[in-house]
Amino acid sequence: MARIGLVAHDDKKDDLVAWTERNRAALAVHTLCGTGTSGGRVAERTGLTVTRLLSGPLGGDAQLGAMIAEGRLDALVFFQDPLTAMPHDVDIKSLSRLATLYNILFAVNESTADAVLMALESAGSRLG
C-alpha cells in the first residue's frame, strides 16, 4: 500500500476526479490524501477515503510538501494547468522541487498518473 497525495489546479479538478473514478479500484488499496477541494471532490465522487488537508493556497500545498520531506508520501498526483497563472506559484514550484529532491513518483497529467499507478502496482508490497 502506497501513500498518494492528490491535488489539481481549478481547471483540472474535473480531470482529476474523472481519473480517480476510472482508477477507483486501483486507488482503493492505497492511502490517499488531498488538498481541500481536490480531496473533497474525489472522496465525494468516488467514495474513496481521502484525508483532506487545507486548500492548496491556504497551506495545503505546504502540507503536502512537508509530507514529502518527512517521507510520508510515496507518490504525488498533481494535475497542473499550464495555461493559467497561479497566484500561489511559489507553493506549486516547491511541491515540484520536493517531489524531485526526495525522488518520489510524481504525475502532472493523466498519462503520467497512469504510469505512476502501474509502477505502484508492480512495486506491490515493497512500499508502505
Catalytic center residues: 61
Cα(124)–Cα(127) distance, rounded to whole angstroms?
A: 7
DSSP codes of every residue in 62-79? HHHHHHHHTT--SEEEEE
Neighbour count for residue 63 (Cβ, 10 Å): 17
Q: Residues 6 or more apart from 6 whose CB is under 8 A from it?
A: 16, 20, 32, 33, 34, 35, 38, 39, 42, 50, 77
Helices 110-123 and 13-22 cross at an angle (nearest 10°) of 40
